[in-house]
Structure 1
Amino acid sequence: MSNTDIINILMVDDHEMILEGYKNVFSNISSESKKFNIETSTNCEEAWKLVNDKIFDVVFLDINFPVIEGSKLISGEDLGIKIKNEKPLIKIVILTTLEDKFRLQNILFNINPDGFLLKGETNSSELIKCIERVIEQPPYYGQKISKILRSGVNHKLTLDKTDRSILYQLSLGSKNKDVAESVNLSLRAVENRKRKLKEIFDIEGGSNKQLLEKARESGYI
């Protein structure tokens, strides 16, 4: 009878070469006592279908993806929240290039991931340390991301899914009435949300263009 522990992992990233690199790392550390089964996905919609169809212990998740038209999962953050809410036994590790403090704080608050790494600081040994900790005793945060997050978190400045959807619709050039229909809010509610977003990004009274520029700089769109 086999005593091998099998860890089922889903890696979600829109760069095939990065996914191949992850797979190679886990292939190299598989042993008689612990085996890693790796599946990959390059978009959030496909990843969600896999999560529903199969059993995964850990999902490694990037944040920024090209948006699929008609998809309700605009980013990896949306997918991470959905997994947390509907598949709470799955552990989530965020792997991102984003370094904007405000954006990272929002990901931490909205998803509360079991692991959190910046791609720029993640080599094979760091990835191995992360998976071992996440399986046995989460959370595991990389050194650089820990430093960024320790510098202060303000939960009052958290953007929810509706805020992110409004920013996305505005980035497509949608008019306010079309944005309102898309996010199922009144026109007045959308205007109030936009006002709040401009305050958060410190551009009170600014234009939509300025708002979108700030949102792009922070990694929201």
Structure 2
Amino acid sequence: MMRITGNNNYNIVLVDDHPLITKAFRDTLKRIASEDTLHFNIVEAHTSDQVLAILDRISPVYQVDMIFLDIQLPPSSDGEIISGEDLGLKIREYSDDTKIVIVTAYNDPHRIHSILENINPDGFLIKDDLTPEELLIAVRHMIQDHPYYSSTVTQSVRKYFANDFVLDKIDRRLLYELSQGATLSDMVSLLPLSRPGIIKRKQRLKIVFNIQGADDRALIRKARKKGFI
């Protein structure tokens, strides 16, 4: 049960489709709370629908201080949210004051930069970098209103400076629908784009992913490898 936030009292939501991951985070947060004389009210969620239900129930009454958000989540039941990135944008609509901490296994520079541009998270952690000690440091930074990015994120941002292309929500939706077998005619009704607009988007994505001239199956494979679907 969430409680009102005080100076040392923080309401936290842990989001990952693997319960073992949220348990590991909960255990580390308990250690931080014990060492720093803090109190964390923790709720776990494993789907987008659960997160939205929590926010609908909690956010009108209590401030959700921090959400640890995995990117690779199954789509919501209504199909409006197809990844943790879309969920992050939805969380921003609930509260600008909630700190969003991205936790993901994806380390592709394009993917990282897209998340940074679209969500502007307060924390960004790559699972391969993550240890209990780093999580401890990250949480302490964010409690003091300092953003925290793990080393892989920092390095990827540096690499990406040479390329300012960012995949927006329409790009990500196009890739998702393509991976679900949608035809060009299907996507005209699913996306706010004309047939020529969809074709141009796909061509641009193939250029960005360095697979010019490849077919749509190659685009799906590359997008999946980079963590966009």
User: What is the TM-score with the length of structure 2 in the denominator?
Assistant: 0.89
Cα deviation digits, residues 157-180 of structure 1 (max 9, x gap): 111111111111110111111112
2:118 matched to 1:110? yes
2:90 matched to 1:90? no
Kept in 2, the 8 Å contact 1:117–1:141? The answer is: yes
CA distance in 2, matches of 1:85, 1:190: 28
Calculate percent identity across the aligned residue pairs: 36
Kept in 2, the 8 Å contact 1:105–1:153? The answer is: no
Identify which range, 120-129 or 5-14, moves more after superposition. 120-129
CA distance in 1, matches of 2:204, 2:7: 52
Cα deviation digits, residues 107-134 of structure 1 (max 9, x gap): 1111111111111121112111111111
Counterpart for residue 28 of structure 1: 31
Kept in 1, the 8 Å contact 2:106–2:227? The answer is: yes
2:52 matched to 1:44? no
User: What is the TM-score with the length of structure 1 in the denominator?
Assistant: 0.92
- Unmatched 5+ residue regions in structure 1? none
1:68 positional shift: 4.0
Counterpart for residue 209 of structure 1: 217
Cα deviation digits, residues 9-65 of structure 1 (max 9, x gap): 111100011111111111233248410111111112221221232131001011111
2:82 matched to 1:74? yes
Instruction: Give 3-state SS (helix, strand or coil) of 2:160's partner.
Output: coil
Instruction: Give 3-state SS (helix, strand or coil) of 2:181's partner.
Output: coil
Kept in 1, the 8 Å contact 2:16–2:69? The answer is: yes
Q: CA RMSD in A?
A: 1.8
Counterpart for residue 22 of structure 2: 19
Cα deviation digits, residues 141-166 of structure 1 (max 9, x gap): 11232222222335631111111111
Identify which range, 15-24 or 185-194, moves more after superposition. 185-194
CA distance in 1, matches of 2:170, 2:160: 24
Judged with a 3 Å threshold, the aligned counterparts in structure 2 of structure 1 residues 195 and 69 are, in CA distance, closer, same or farther, namely farther
Cα deviation digits, residues 76-129 of structure 1 (max 9, x gap): 111112222442110111111111111111111111111111111211121111
CA distance in 2, matches of 1:176, 1:115: 37
CA distance in 1, matches of 2:77, 2:162: 32
2:152 matched to 1:174? no
Q: Alignment length, in residue pairs?
A: 219
CA distance in 1, matches of 2:53, 2:77: 17
The AA in structure 1 aligned to 2:174 is I
Counterpart for residue 3 of structure 2: none
The one of 190, 194, 198 equivalent to 2:198 is: 190
The AA in structure 1 aligned to 2:11 is N
- Unmatched 5+ residue regions in structure 2? 1-5
Instruction: Give 3-state SS (helix, strand or coil) of 1:65's partner.
Output: coil
